Amino acid sequence: MRIVIAGGHGQIALRLERLLAARGDEAAGIIRKPEQTDDLRELGAEPIVLDLESASVEEVAEVLKGADAAVFAAGAGPGSGVGRKDTVDRAAAVLFADAAVRAGVRRFVIVSSMGADAEHQGDEVFDVYLRAKGEADAYVRSLEALDWTILRPGQLTDEPGTGLVRLEARTGRGPIPRDDVAAVLAELVDTPATAGLTLELISGSVPVSVAVRSVAGN
Q: Where are the beta strands (DSSP E) in 89-163?
A: 107-111, 147-153, 155-157
Query: Measured between alpha carbons, how far apart are the two ends of the chain, in Å?
Result: 24
Q: What is the DSSP string of 6-40?
A: ESTTSHHHHHHHHHHHHTT-EEEEEES-GGGHHHH
Alpha-carbon torsion (81, 6, 96, 189), positive or negative: negative
Q: Which of 72, 96, 108, 129 is catalytic?
A: 129
Give bridge partners of residue 167 from the DSSP assignment: 201
* Residue 192, CB-side half-sphere exposure with 13 Å CA sphere: 9
Active site (annotated) includes residue 129: yes
What amino acid positions are annotated as catalytic residues? 129
